[in-house]
Homo-oligomer: A and B are copies of this chain.
Amino acid sequence: MYVDLPEAELREYHGSGREPADFDDFWSTTLAGARSHDLAVTVEHVETQLTTLDVYDVSFAGFNGQRVRAWLRVPAGTSAPLPTVVQFHGYGRGRGDEVENLLWASAGYAHLELDTRGQAWSGSRGATPDEVGSGPQVPGFMTRGIESAATYYFRRLITDAVRLTDAARELPLVDAGRIAIFGISQGGGLTLAVAGLVPDLAGAIARVPFLCDFPRATVITDAKPYREIGEYLAWYRDRADQVLDTLSYFDGVNFARRAQAPIWITAALMDAICPPSTVFAAYNNYAGPKQVTVWPYNGHEGGGVDDDLLTLGALREVLGR
């Protein structure tokens, strides 16, 4: 069933959140900090049984110089730069295994996928630790370090994502001028963030994106992971303002206002995990060229394979091939 505003109202909804005055400072300082570490990209060919694709194990210096992993897949025998899609993953997923997620390289792109630090217990495995501790938190990652923007988990993860785009540009098999970014759910939220922080991206695809319009998201659904924040505030009742302040530095709505890359966004009207109003809050504020696809009968699976086809179409449009 529909879980949110009628579609006509969605198209007018601009979000309920705040934008901190020092939002840009926060991120420029954060990224400068990360970039003060040598990226130190490593690329190692991985033996697999795949014959049509080559797979490389990539690592680089992410937040605070911590080592972060990624996979690079390209059509077998690729030796020259390719248009590239950089993918960020959904909540609970790591970069997975070498032989998973073959579509994007099979379509002729270099495909780089970020390992999600500390996550990877649902949907796929991972290999990158989150090396930072935290204060008392609700199980999961939504409240890890939520006491301040400086300590929040997503500061580290978004920085990793930005640094992966930096790393991409150093890879010999990547055409640095033709990079698109892409993600579903949390990966869509990261896509919005990177689109707002990194210039010169060819395009972006954010499917049923998470991490948007937190003030509304945390009160209109009981579904996790947004619910983790509500569970935290149910105990730490006096920290609502502090927590919403932290979250405002990570809200897709604020990133959207700064983004310039052409974007494709999808939303689902029965999605209780990333309710469509939160998605539209980002979409309606998005500063660059944009289009939105609405799936009326879907939950958080969104367009599924239809969204894959939509993504392939978008990639062709912005990356050529």
Contact = CB atoms under 8 A, between A and B. Distances in A.
B305 A236 contact: no
Nearest to A224: B139
Is chain A's interface secondary structure helix, strand, loop, or mixed overall?
Answer: loop
Interface in A262-321: 269-270, 295-299, 301, 303-306, 308-309, 312-313, 316, 321
Interface stretch (A27-35, A225-233, A251-259): A225-233
A102 B96 contact: no
Nearest to A145: B129
B107 A50 contact: yes
Interface string A40-54: 000000000111110
Interface stretch (A181-189, A201-209, A214-222): A214-222
B108 A136 contact: no
Nearest to A227: B1
A1 B233 CA distance: 12
A56 interface: no
A2 interface: yes
Contact of A133 (B131, B231, B237, B303): B131
A242 interface: no
A62 interface: no
A119 interface: yes
A107 B49 contact: yes
A99 B297 contact: no
Interface centre among A137, A141, A312 (most CB of B within 10 A): A137
Given A129-B136, A133-B132, A49 B295 contact: no
Interface stretch (A17-25, A120-128, A164-172): A120-128
A295 B237 contact: yes
Given A106-B52, A137-B121, A234 B306 contact: no
A119 B137 CA distance: 6
A186 B235 CA distance: 20
A238 B124 CA distance: 14
A237 B160 CA distance: 27
A106 B236 contact: no
24 contacts: A1-B230, A51-B75, A51-B106, A52-B53, A52-B75, A52-B108, A97-B308, A99-B308, A102-B103, A118-B133, A121-B136, A121-B137, A122-B235, A124-B305, A125-B305, A129-B133, A131-B133, A132-B133, A139-B139, A234-B270, A237-B297, A237-B298, A237-B303, A238-B306
4 shortest interchain CB distances as A-B pairs = A51-B108, A120-B136, A131-B133, A139-B139
